[in-house]
Amino acid sequence: MVRLTAPFSEGMIRELKVGDMVEISGTVFTGRDAVHKWLYEGNIPPLNLQNGIIYHCGPVVIKQKGSWIVTAAGPTTSIREEPYQAGIIEKFGLRGIIGKGGMGGKTLEACRKFGCVYFHAIGGAAQVLAESIKEVENVFGIELFGSPEAIWQLRVESFPAVVTMDSHGGSLHKEIEEQSVARLKSLVS
């Protein structure tokens, strides 16, 4: 188990390899479809994303006694952000993307070039992942994007994930797919 604690740096990201199981502690920013399109179009949010981690997630957040509480926060399918992700990694100097299902070649290349990794969270584990969110530090764009699509700045502790795309061109998705294709061939021949 690799424990990854903020502040995140290029050096610590470059040390991660495909297949590493990690627990992330520090700040992450949620962002899904609307936010990715908006950032890609050249807009700058009033939040410091430099060296940050973006989490593909539309959380369920409620207000309790004046403060925000995240009640469900599993990952959403990442591949929808493939057209935008590489440009956003470069522009904002992101160090990590958290999501599910993996991403494509453009993102993998941006990870290699700019020092970023893809963390695969456990799809469907909305309650466990919400438990690891300790605090809502800030939020931007509730009116602009709607609550699930807003950028939620969250403090997480021991958020569990697996590195499935690293900053050296490695992709677990590619490895597993190639292996399963080969095994399928032997099963149906």
Partner 1 sequence: MNKTQKKNLEEAFIEVIRKTSTDLPKDVADTIEAAYVTEEKGSRAEYALRIIKDNIGLARLKSQPLCQDTGSILFFCHYPERTTQSELLKLFRGAVVTATKKGYLRQNSVDSLTGKNSGTNIGPGSPVVHFEPWEKNYFDVRLVLKGGGSENVSIQYSLPDGRLGAGRDLVGVRKCILDAVMQAQGKGCGPGILGVAIGGDRASGYLASKEQFLRKLNDRSRNTALAKLEQECLTDANKLGIGPMGFGGNTTLLGVKITALNRLPASYFLSVSYLCWAFRRQGARINYNGEIKRWLY
Residues assigned a catalytic role: 36
Closest to partner 1 by CB, 26 vs 160, is 160
Q: Closer CB to partner 1, residue 21 or residue 44? A: 21
Bridge partners for 153 per DSSP: 29, 138
Instruction: Using the rule CB under 8 A, give the single segment among 41-49, 89-97, 105-113, 181-189 that binds partner 1.
Output: 181-189
| Residue among 65 and 187 whose Cβ is closer to partner 1 | 187
Check binding of 2 to partner 1 (CB under 8 A): no
Angstrom distance (rounded) from CA 29 to CA 57: 9
Mark residue 70 as left, alpha or beta (left: phi above 0; alpha: psi -120 to 50; beta: remaining). beta
Q: Could you say whether residue 126 binds partner 1 (CB under 8 A)? A: yes
> What's the one-letter identity of residue 1?
M
> Is 104 a binder of partner 1 (CB under 8 A)?
no
Among 55, 97, 100, 167, binds partner 1 (CB under 8 A): 100
Q: Does 164 bind partner 1 (CB under 8 A)?
A: yes
Residues of this chain, 4-43, that bind partner 1 according to CB under 8 A: 19, 21
- Cα–Cα distances (Å) from 11 to 57, 116, 142, in that order, read 26, 10, 34
Contacts of 35-43 with CB under 8 Å at 24 or more apart are 35/141, 35/145, 35/149, 35/150, 35/151, 36/81, 36/84, 36/85, 36/88, 37/84, 38/141, 38/144, 38/145, 39/84, 39/88, 39/91, 39/92, 40/83, 40/84, 40/87, 40/88
Least Å from the CB of residue 130 to partner 1: 8
CA–CA dist 49, 97 (Å, integer): 12
Contact with partner 1 (CB under 8 A) among 12, 123, 137, 144: 123
Q: Give the interface segment with partner 1, choosing from 44-52, 84-92, 111-119, 167-175 (CB under 8 A).
A: 167-175
Binding residue for partner 1 (CB under 8 A) from 12, 60, 142, 144?
Answer: 60
Planar angle of CA 62, 101, 87, nearest 5 degrees: 85
- What residue ranges bind partner 1 (CB under 8 A)? 19, 21, 58-60, 71-74, 76-77, 100-102, 120, 122-128, 131, 160, 162, 164, 172-173, 175-177, 179-181, 183-184, 187-188
